[in-house]
Structure 1
């Protein structure tokens, strides 16, 4: 950060800017507490917090002692949180007061409370069963960040990002987005995502700009927040673009004196009419790109001076190719699996997944093609993962939860097209007998709220007698999806 007396980060919920000195003071408090608790080199710290200006301070303090941060969603159900803690060795957890009891759960631990300028009461819970390491300055190839990304089995894959991978990815972000110290970004994406962590926060800190942290996206407040804080760019997903276009308060609060340099949009392609309508209505440029947790943010981005609508842009400091019949090629206009490699791309997961890598390439599981001008077009997903407003939902995770209900004989979860969220999480259920469908629907909704994160909860529920199956009895998801799509009108739950 630059001059310590200048404002560098704002927490919208608290409606307060913090200076570089405020930021440094909070980092020092957190770091000293971690040192006192003997959290050091290579120790993994779980962070479960909503969006807050304290997030980047916590990140820096953890890295300064050489530890590794693993952020998860603040909306993670307590059962899921406890499962995460049981399966992996977290030397410490950093949470808000409402989750202290869930983390403790009869665990032998030391609980400390910190009063930060950016966060009134932060709790660090130190697991006493784990020794911890001495603090040390991390090396470039030491782990910095662990993030969960959903897999087709429903078991999240753990992505380990080193300091080198993150630095390379962030430097590419800065160059491709032409970021400078005069920029101010607003974070509306969840901070446990790579999008907020790398594309918005780390890139802005490294380029010397300012950060405005919104607890969550609010359509009615968005344009006023942009105007009041002189925001110059923001990173979003297509769902946010759609909401801003149709939300009455958002349109009322927009004024022509608002000047965004650009809006970065990724996750799934925007339809031409939506992209054009947004750029015309709000007088800014949308830059679409393609990336993922495994690549420490982006692989491709549309150039400012020559964007191609419908594409995810051109590769930027990344080698992008297509795998056809098991062979990797740069052949154009052929749809196959998108594969990538570069100085910001992982070459292994934290747990073994050798089928995700081939000859130094990462196999994304997404389908797409490169056109004659080198632009990437993402055509769909090889995997069953549902893309709900930028959140990746593993069907098996939702199926495992809903299967706990005793009236459900079988459940299949698929993604169905949704104009607002890209895909809706759709539960297709076979029940044990003839019962009240509306009552069962309400039970499904209630159970999902208790056991699943917000984005995993089904927004469409259908009851059927059977599924289309192959000769071995396995559900043919593509045919099931087609059947449900044909009956969507008037039957959405």
Structure 2
């Protein structure tokens, strides 16, 4: 066993009648004993089909309490969890299920029937305490020649979790997080947030993300605390979920905070439940919240906003504002992380000097699964983000060297969206850029040149938005379509995205109908 699995097993062995896992949708709590029984059922189901050490397990589930025991069961048998969005397009999901990379997949009910009709795929279901019926898809082509599961001893350096972070080229980078990285990341999160067994975290961010998996779920498991899991964020239910779940903190993105400030139902619900709310803080990440919105939120809802900075490659966070000394507008101080800035090829830590953020630590990857040496310098990870440190050592993130779009906490690769839109016959050329969005940070904007005489701009916009509904995950779909006659190009004929963005901002161009 590893430090991670040992800690998770021990946590379930103590005070087994304690409620530790709640379905925020219906308010039902599950005890450590029920949690442990589900872990054993899931383990036995996979081992009986000869799934074991080193196998990759595909997960395409919306947020649900079953996620927690499923992750532990996968890690205990030495397998690797591979969670993806439950809004993954059908074609992509079919391709994954049909490949020989995953001997088993856990999917939503609506996916199970059509996918089980694929050649070589067998469907079964399992009944658990945390879910009445969970579909399981077995890849018989992979499993047919197995007589027993691989029971190789699990090492700290073995993979436990694979997540994708999109690069600007459109080709996703596979981030492999080991047992050791997960454990270290969660321990650092626990210590920096000062969470204990008395705390309860509300999870509403997608559970195929590092934020929910490590920042929230694993942190609270290693703190001996409780977790309440919602399917997704709901402004009209947020404060009732916080109150009824006795939630003491939650991880959010600035978009959520903005919506709570604007939503009338949210405001009224807070007033109804405020005597039952015991929030210590809301932990915000992704992009900086404007100063006025941050102070307005803290004043209106009487809670602390704790801003930090991290990413998938660092098993959640690198910096966090100290609870006793937060500095508004900053991403806080490095915690269990070495951090320097690269300026003109040199590493510096002088104050007020803007450079590329570089980090290292016992929770930071040393390479991607598909080796990518340009993202590393010696033992430092180059984040691609720009920032500076002030005289007190607080980090201020200024933007991204890369062209990634950050929408409500999701990262969108422009090239991936462009590749999809270029399939449309009436498009001459398209460039995907991020335009300012007060609510979501950035809007995924399709700046488009149409082929002469092919279609009208209003019809083209309608077709673009409709086409991407079936080709892209929801967060990747363009929310704005702007039509132009030409792009600013460099000497090699490539679109100069910063200049394009600047010109659109200067002209105050909105979506053109």
Q: Which one of the candidate residues 76, 81, 93 is aligned to 2:105?
A: 93
RMSD: 1.5
Q: Does 1:66 align with 2:78?
A: yes
Q: Does 1:237 align with 2:256?
A: no
Q: Specify the alignment match of 1:145 in structure 2.
A: 161
Q: Which one of the candidate residues 431, 445, 454 is aligned to 2:450?
A: 431
Range moving further from structure 2, 468-477 or 356-365: 468-477
The SS at the match of 1:129 is helix
**Counterpart mapping for 1:38-437 below 5 A:** 38-85=50-97, 89-101=101-113, 103-104=115-116, 106-131=118-143, 133-255=149-271, 256-257=274-275, 258-434=277-453, 435-437=455-457
Range moving further from structure 2, 176-185 or 255-264: 255-264
Q: Distance in 2 between matches of 1:105 and 1:464?
A: 45
Q: What are the superposed Cα offsets for residues 220-244 of structure 1, whole Å, 9 maximum, x if unpaired? A: 1000111111100010000001000
The SS at the match of 1:290 is strand
Q: What are the superposed Cα offsets for residues 54-80 of structure 1, whole Å, 9 maximum, x if unpaired? A: 001100111111101010001111112
Q: Distance in 2 between matches of 1:87 and 1:335?
A: 45
1:259 CA displacement: 2.2
Q: Which one of the candidate residues 453, 456, 480 is aligned to 2:476?
A: 456
Q: What are the superposed Cα offsets for residues 325-366 of structure 1, whole Å, 9 maximum, x if unpaired? A: 222222221111100000000001111111011110000011
Q: Specify the alignment match of 1:472 in structure 2.
A: 492
Distance 1:373 1:492, change over 3 A: farther
1:324 CA displacement: 1.3
Q: How many residues align?
A: 493
Q: Is this contact kept in 2: 1:65–1:136, CA < 8 A?
A: no
Range moving further from structure 2, 101-110 or 272-281: 101-110
Q: Distance in 2 between matches of 1:67 and 1:274?
A: 43
Q: Is this contact kept in 2: 1:65–1:137, CA < 8 A?
A: no
Q: Is this contact kept in 1: 2:116–2:122, CA < 8 A?
A: no
- Structure 1 unmatched ranges of 5 or more: none
Range moving further from structure 2, 328-337 or 102-111: 102-111
Distance 1:143 1:279, change over 3 A: same
- Give me the TM-score of the superposition, normalised by structure 2: 0.93
Q: Is this contact kept in 2: 1:38–1:135, CA < 8 A?
A: no
Q: Distance in 1 between matches of 2:99 and 2:126?
A: 27
Q: Is this contact kept in 1: 2:340–2:358, CA < 8 A?
A: yes
The SS at the match of 1:130 is helix
Q: Is this contact kept in 2: 1:93–1:125, CA < 8 A?
A: yes
- Structure 2 unmatched ranges of 5 or more: 1-11
Distance 1:231 1:137, change over 3 A: farther
1:87 CA displacement: 6.3
Q: Distance in 1 between matches of 2:133 and 2:504?
A: 48
Q: Distance in 2 between matches of 1:33 and 1:130?
A: 16
Q: What are the superposed Cα offsets for residues 169-195 of structure 1, whole Å, 9 maximum, x if unpaired? A: 110111000000010110010000000
Q: What are the superposed Cα offsets for residues 434-488 of structure 1, whole Å, 9 maximum, x if unpaired? A: 4321111111110011101000011110111110111221111011111222344
1:135 CA displacement: 3.0
Q: Is this contact kept in 2: 1:8–1:209, CA < 8 A?
A: yes
